[in-house]
Amino acid sequence: MKGKAHSLEGLLTLVQCLTLTCSLVNAEPDTKPAAERKDDNVQLDAAALFKLAGGQDVRLDKLDSKTLFSWDKRDNGDVLFYRAEKQGQSLKIELPVSRDGYYRIRGSHVHGPWKPGRFGLFKLKADGILMPGQQHGWYSTSAPKHWPKAKLHVQQVDWGAVYLRSPTALLAFERIHHTGGMFGITRLELHSVKESELDEEERKRIAPPRVSHKRGDWPILRHNASTSLAGKLPVWRTGIAPKIDGALGDWLRGPDIEINKTTIKTMGFESPAIQGNDDLSLTARMMWDDRFLYFAAAVRDDELAATVRGQKWKGFWEYDGVALLVTVPPWLRGTTRHPQVIEKELHFGLNYYTDSGPRPLPGGGRYVCRRSPTGYTIEAAIPFASLGLDARHGDRLRFFIIAVNRDPAKPEGRHFGQYIWNRTRGEIRLVSAAGAGAEMIPEISHARPGTTIRYVGSADVFDKLTKVSEIQLIDLGTGAIKRRWPQETTLASGKRHQLSGELPLHGLPNGRYSLRAVLSD
Amino acid sequence: MSDLLRKRVVGNSSQEQGRSQLNFWAIKFAADRFSSRAAKSLRCLAIVICLSLLSKISLHSDEFTIGLPADDKKGVRPAMVGPGMDDLHRFHIPAGDKVEIPQRPVNRKVYLETIKHWKMHTAGWRPVYESFCDAGPFGVYAPRHAFVGAVVFKGTGEKRFGEKVKVQIQDFHRALKKQVKDKGMNYWYMHYPVLLELEYRILKEGGILTAEDEVWWRDMILELNRTIHVWGTKPTYWRGSQHRSQGEGVMKRLAAIKYPDAPEAKEWTNYFNTVWQDWWEFRDTSANDTGYFFGMTFPVIIGAHLMGMKEVFTDEGMDPFWERLLHSISSEGAVAPYGAHGGWNSHAASLLWMFELKARYSRDGRYRWAAHRIFNYLLFQSERLQSHHQPMHWSKFGMGLAWLFADDSVKPVAPRKTSTLTWRKETLRVRGKEGAKRYLKNLDPDPERAQICCGLLVTKEVKPHKLVLRSGWNPGDLFMLVDLFPRHDPMNPGGILGLMRHGSAMTMTLTSKAETDWHNMLMVEDLSGIASIRSNENPDTVDSYRMEVTIPTFTDHALATHAVTRTTDFIGFPMMNEREFFFVKNRFVLVRDRAHFEESFLARLGPTWFAENIGPQVGPNWANTFMAEPRTHGIALKNPPWDLLIVHAPKPDRKLIVRQRGISEFKARYTSTENMIRYRWQGVTKPGQVVQFSQVLLPHAPMRKPAELASKIEFIADDHEKTVVRIQAEKDREEWLVLNQTGGLIEFGKLKTDAKQVYVDVRDGRVNRWLIKHGQQLYYNGGAVIPYSKTPINAAEKTADSEGKD
């Protein structure tokens, strides 16, 4: 018996009261496994339940006809006793469930006196669903007069029917009254039942999908869901920086960003609909390297408005052009790669210009415009330094592209329009040549030594089937990989994959770390 | 332009991000109420506190540290702030329970006398009766500013007022001509057309207008209609249920009725017949606010009166529209603002005249009764209101209309003193005219016509509007207004818009045309940016996300109201939030949020509370708050001193955050509540996970050390099945609140019950009042309050016979 002193005392009270001869049993009783399965049914005797209830304040006693007034002869006399210290505590037993379906739960339970230190009032929750049955002691310090003195009684309890899910169901027998904390089981049974045999109340009892929220219960990596990549744009890494000259011949790779009458859903307030591809349309591409985010666009515009001539540039909505709005997301802020914590959205107005020269951009960004037969081209290099970010593969940035169309010669109501690419979902992902990228975000900023850390993350797979082959823990002080957790999680292409998990940190020295998901073909 | 882009962004968590990384807190006092020395010392202290906490900045990032942070042993917890509140003015004036908001009988004579004595800023800040006839030209403002003169003329029969009104309107005509000459158009669609018609009728009836006057009046009205470009833009003949379109429709119909021989009369009438249906077919309008809403009702309601459309007041289909307005006012007659508004009680005067007009046609005395409450609250604030031309004008103007419309033969009748759920029609923000095609009939194909006002329209789908939690109609009764509407901004279902006790406002919303989906509600952020946003998939509309609100439980009893609101796709996240209110009348409110997650993401969430002042003490799971002077139009209104204590069920994984959000100077004119409290949880969620927050909102008399009171609110239990709270706020008084949704038998201390909701009020050891719902037994201290019954009791209560209004 590994129970606490006071619980042992409670049991001794029971022992004295019932003049039982109790023998402390080993944690591994010498009984053969008694989980019997017939189809989907499950029957467990006290010894098997004792194993399943390991770690809780339970003990196994052997009772016989001298102490038990009656019991099911199928039981071999073993009784699992549990003592709840206080109201609200429960005996938890996780039973195997072979398939999802309705089950009736029946138990054989010890019926005894109900008073402090004796048998209490217990209800059952099956995977959190409160069952209608209950088990409680009798309202006396001793047995009813017509019973043999001080003898217990084993009675059958129909706890009720409930829909359970494989592979297991958690049964929690909870003490719900302040008086009496003892609970005894000799047998527990799950009987598969047909839905048609149940009444309406029973059919409503459906256990929710089980989720563990306990720390330490999570897997190293869990693939939660796959969602659409709509609004998420891959930005391919380039080994050769494009020449920023407005000539777009060196832009070979990358999906096209299209803004035209068909694709654009979000317009600025009072903006008229795009009249056609000649009125306004553009195709854009992006690339990245260690220092810059590159942007190129070929814009069709049948009316180019006057630009700055010797005056100061006004807001970038005042001219034809494209505005790029970039924000460093919260999980990158304050990292060793983003120490300045630039929270605000940075605006890069790539306005069409003629003789004035380009609009100055923040942070040393630069761009070049060229007149084309149908409009103009833009080529820009936005330094990551302007965002205060040391970018790396897998980073996600919030990103909006807004095309601005100024047409002063057109009829009233069509002088000004703004057309926004992905206003509510705009995001770019810096991807490798393989076309995938992932990040992992720890749940907390400070983890206690020897504990675990949870994380959440996402992997965008734009090109071909990819897998998470390893999770790494990087020591940011040395750059060394301190831990590796090999994985084999396949990620389908064309999706964003939501990931989460929990990593043990035991044996790691204090310091600053980051997580990395290694993606491979 | 930035406003356009400041809409919700996936994972942006923009509500807090960007302004919020500093976990500092600051307390703002009404500095003008301090001695300068005390104010300086407090400001210095606030700075010191801010600086001391700056060193504890906690950022969330993709990196983490193993090891104990320096501040982790104790946690960053704000402690006692301020050297004491001795110098605060509020401790030297009577507290809320000693302040009477006089409830004088109201009739047309009272309205008229009040108007005559209110000041007029356009006439030297002297009373209307003394100054109106000496005033200089009102120019473009004449139709509004001259209106009170027309009222005095009609009320007193003194022709000098009528003559002066005519002169002022002539001046307006000159101003109109100049406007048209200079700009080619006018944009006076909202107030002027109906006011001019009212003034015309008053002057005509009073014999002021000559045949010559009729000629220029006709010229003026036709020019006004022919040159109208609402909002100064070219597109005209607006559509939709909002103020531009309805204003334009009503003005053109009034002109066509008045001058049927005008060449445009037929076109104007046709337009009116079409645009009027944009709201009348639905018996509702779009705005979920206390600002723009009244921009629409002004021309529509007065227009209906002028056009003889009594059905607007009497049609059964209009009942939800009128009822929701009636129930939304506090027992003192205050209007808690929400959405886009002009500050505390900013548009109450609009409700004043609307209610008088409604009562006149429907003969429903409840509306007169409510109008008189509104009027008395305006009088309570009159000194402050008359310190700024805007609130002074609009209040007086509303009184003038109320006088004109009031019918003293309708006897005021108190509305039922129960809590109420109100309903309204769905609002959609469509993608311009293109998006509106699916919803509105007969849209003019001319690209320069039929733009949709505000991009807003209504559908026939009925949605929950507000939850009104009311203790009664006695001035000072505890009152709470909760938003339920899942469409259009401010998008804060479950958000507490107003809370009043003893005439004291305890919170108010930030005036905003955009989403404030974090205001006094569960605020959720996705710190990882990976939650799949439940965005609005309707291609014809532009609202960024779409949610649904249901009310699975709403029951009202003499002692308390119990309500549960359920919001799926909560503010666009893959989650459902269930917000439960246990409103114990004239005592306190238990508010419980249960966030049910459907996906894994790194979430930061917790209920917020916006207050003007936070302090003088806060604790690890509680904070005291109060409002000294709620603002409207840049002025501070009176607020009888009364505090609100907010106590959260303590949880080791939560943190109380107190933050100065910082609002723009513009918004600060209309909003007093820029400081935020949030009890925050952060972690990786999983499908099926439920995160629960329970809090008690306890209004109480101002006190310098509320910590002791906070310690008297004990969360005995707070888990996914039950919340049990014991409150010992007064000597020899113990109150219990139980939410026990499984109906399991629970026993804590002296209380034992299996009821799902329980309120027990024990005084001197005796159970004085109690309420149980859905249970079979209630025992206190071993004695049976409700002995075990085999038949479950649906609801039962006992109200104390000696309690009076408490």
The whole-number average pLDDT for the span B245-269 is 98
pLDDT single digits (tens) A122-143:
999 998 899 999 998 776 555 5
- Token reading at A491: 């990620």
Averaged over A483-509, what is the pLDDT?
92
Q: Give burial (CB, 10 Å; 0-12/13-18/19+) of A210.
A: middle
**Predicted confidence (pLDDT) per residue in A184-221, tens digit:** 998 999 999 998 999 988 998 988 766 666 777 788 99
Report the alpha-carbon distance of residue B718 to residue B144 in Å, rounded.
56
Cα nearest neighbour of B233 on chain A: A413
Q: Which residue has the higher pLDDT, B31 or A339?
A: A339
What is the structure's pLDDT at B58?
36
Per the listing, tokens 């930005």 go with A235
Which position has the higher pLDDT, A70 or B295?
B295
Grade residue B265 by pLDDT with cuts at 50, 70 and 90.
very high
Which residues in chain B are closer than 8 Å to A87, comparing Cβ atoms?
A: 746-747
Give how far B539 is from chain A: nearest CA, Å. 8
**What integer pLDDT is reported at residue A423 of this predicted model?**
60
CB atoms within 10 A of CB A148: 9
pLDDT confidence of residue B82:
34
Tokens for B250? Answer: 């009503």
Nearest to B9 among A343, A398, A476 (CB): A398
Residues in B touching A315 (Cβ below 8 Å): 1
Choose the weakest-confidence range: A428-432, B251-255, B655-659: B655-659
- Minimum CA–CA partner of A209 in chain B: B688
A163 to chain B, minimum CA–CA distance in Å?
16
Condensed to tens digits (0 to 9), the pLDDT of residues B612-641 reads: 888 888 889 999 999 888 999 889 999 999
The letter for the amino acid at A6 is H
Contact B539 A265 (CB under 8 A): yes
Contact B643, B699 (CB under 8 A): yes
Residue A83 pLDDT grade (very low, low, confident, very high; cuts 50, 70, 90): confident
Chain centroid to Cα B803, Å, comes to 31
Q: What is residue B575's predicted lDDT score, i.e. its pLDDT?
A: 96
Three-state DSSP at A83 gives strand
Question: Are the beta carbons of A425 and B533 separated by less than 8 Å?
Answer: yes
Report the distance separating Cα A159 and Cα A482, nearest Å. Answer: 51
Distance CA B306, CA B327 (A): 26
pLDDT(B514) > 90:
no
pLDDT of residue A55: 64
Q: How far is A74 from chain B (nearest CA, A)?
A: 33
Judge whether residue A14 has pLDDT over 60.
no
Q: Say whether A500 and B684 touch across the interface (CB within 8 A).
A: yes
Residue B233 pLDDT > 50: yes
Q: Which residues contact A244 (CB under 8 A, 6 or more apart)?
A: A294, A366, A367, A368, A379, A380, A381
Given an 8 Å threshold on Cβ–Cβ distance, is A177 in contact with B747? yes
Facing residue for A449 by CB, picked from B67, B528, B683: B67
Q: How confident is the model at residue B532 (pLDDT cuts 50, 70, 90)?
A: confident
Lowest-confidence pick of A143-152, B227-236, B526-535:
A143-152
Confidence class for position A20, pLDDT limits 50, 70, 90:
very low
Give the rounded percent of residues in chain B with a pLDDT score beyond 70.
88
Q: In terms of DSSP bridges, do strands A427-431 and A232-237 run parallel, antiparallel, or are they unpaired? A: parallel
CA-based nearest residue in chain B for residue A345: B18
Asked if A211's CB is within 8 angstroms of B9's CB, the reply is no
**Minimal Cα distance from B429: which residue of A?**
A269
Chain B interface mutation, best of A424, A451, A476, highest count of B Cβ atoms under 10 Å = A424
Query: Which residue in B13, B234, B431 is closest to A330 by CB distance?
Result: B13
Q: Give B68's contacts in chain A (Cβ within 8 Å).
A: 446, 448-449
Phi and psi at residue B462, in whole multiples of 5°? -90, 135
Which band of pLDDT confidence, cut at 50, 70 and 90, is reported for residue B3? Answer: very low
Shortest CB distance from B7 goes to which of A424, A442, A445? A424
pLDDT value of residue B33? 26
Listed by number, the residues of chain A in 8-67 with a beta carbon closer than 8 Å to a beta carbon of chain B are none
pLDDT at residue B536, rounded to an integer: 83
Assign B567 to helix, strand or coil: strand
Q: What is the pLDDT of residue A8?
A: 31
Report the gap between the CA of B743 and the closest CA in chain A (Å).
9
Helix axes B108-117, B389-405, angle to 10 degrees: 150
Contact A457 B528 (CB under 8 A): yes
Which positions in chain A touch B12 (Cβ < 8 Å)? Answer: 327, 398
Q: Given CB atoms, is A208 within the 8 Å cutoff of chain B?
A: yes
Q: What is the DSSP letter of B545?
A: B
Which among B683, B686, B745 is the nearest to A211, CB-wise? B686
- Least confident range of A225-239, A255-269, B169-183, B732-746: A255-269
**In this predicted structure, what is the pLDDT of residue B18?**
27
Range with the poorest average pLDDT among B9-18, B380-389, B512-521, B782-791:
B9-18
Closest chain B CA to residue A272: B432
Contact: B742, A130; criterion CB under 8 Å: yes
Least confident of A40-49, A512-521, B181-190, B735-744: A40-49
**Helix-helix angle B389-405:B147-156, to 10 degrees:** 40
pLDDT of residue B47: 27
Q: Pick the range with the lowest mean pLDDT from A2-16, A432-446, B109-123, B179-193.
A: A2-16
Q: Yes or no: say if B567 and B547 are a contact pair by the CB < 8 Å rule.
A: yes
Q: Does the beta carbon of A89 lie under 8 angstroms from any beta carbon of chain B?
A: no
Whose structure tokens read 């000159």?
A: B174
Q: Once rounded to an integer, what is the mean pLDDT over residues B339-362?
A: 97
Instruction: Tell me what pLDDT residue B279 has.
Output: 98
Residues in A closer than 8 angstroms to B431, CB to CB, are 265, 267
pLDDT of B210 over the 60 cut: yes
**pLDDT score of B186 more than 90:** yes
Residue % of chain A over a pLDDT of 70: 83
pLDDT tens per residue across span B436-461: 999 998 999 987 789 899 999 999 99
- Res. B29 pLDDT band, cuts 50 70 90: very low
Residue A460 predicted with pLDDT over 90: yes
The answer to whether the pTM exceeds 0.90 is no
Alpha-carbon distances, residue B768 vs B732, B734, B800, B801 (angstroms):
12, 10, 6, 9
Determine the distance in angstroms separating the CA of A227 from the nearest CA of chain B, rounded to an integer.
Answer: 7
Listed ranges A121-130, B38-47, B392-401; the one with the highest mean pLDDT: B392-401
* Residue among B330, B790, B777, B774 nearest B553 (CA): B774
Of A272, A413, A476, the CB nearest to B63: A476
pLDDT value for B12: 31
Contact A331 B60 (CB under 8 A): yes
pLDDT of residue B41: 33
Mean residue pLDDT across chain B = 87
Q: What are the backbone angles phi and psi of residue B169, rounded to the nearest 5°? A: -70, -35
CA–CA gap between residue B536 and residue A287 (Å, rounded): 31
Please report the pLDDT score of residue B24 as a whole number. 21
Q: Hey, which of A399-408, B200-209, B631-640 has the most confident mean pLDDT?
A: B200-209
Find the closest chain B residue to A438 by CA distance. B530
Q: What is the pLDDT of residues B49-61, one digit of tens each?
A: 332 232 223 345 6
Nearest CA in chain B to A512: B65
> To the nearest whole angstrom, how far is the Cα of B531 from the nearest Cα of chain A?
8
In chain A, whose CA is at the least distance from the CA of B12? A329
CA of A250 vs chain B CAs: smallest distance (Å) = 32
Question: Which residues in chain B are closer than 8 Å to A88, comparing Cβ atoms?
Answer: 717
For range B480-490, the mean pLDDT? 94
In Å, how far is B237's CA from the nearest CA of chain A?
14
Nearest CA distance, A449 vs chain B (angstrom):
6
Q: Which of residues 355-394 of A touch B (CB under 8 A)?
A: none
Of A184-193, A249-258, B156-165, least confident by mean pLDDT is A249-258
Contact between chains at A441 and B59 (C-beta distance less than 8 A):
no
List of chain B residues whose C-beta atoms are within 8 Å of the C-beta of residue A405: none
Contact A343 B18 (CB under 8 A): yes
Residue B320 preceded by cis peptide, ω within 30: no
Q: Do B535 and A442 touch (CB under 8 A)?
A: no
Of B251, B249, B236, B255, nearest to B184 by C-alpha is: B236
Hey, which residues does A173 pair with through a beta bridge?
A91, A124
Q: Which residue of B has its CA nearest to A129?
A: B742
| Contact state of A267 with B432 under an 8 Å Cβ cutoff | yes
Single out the residue of B612, B580, B582, B583 nearest to residue B509, CA to CA. Answer: B612
B7 and A455 within 8 Å at the Cβ level: the answer is: no
Give which of A424, A382, A423 is closest to A235, Cα–Cα. Answer: A382
pLDDT at residue A151, rounded to an integer: 61
Interface residue A511 vs chain B (CB under 8 A): yes
The predicted pLDDT at position B537 comes to 82
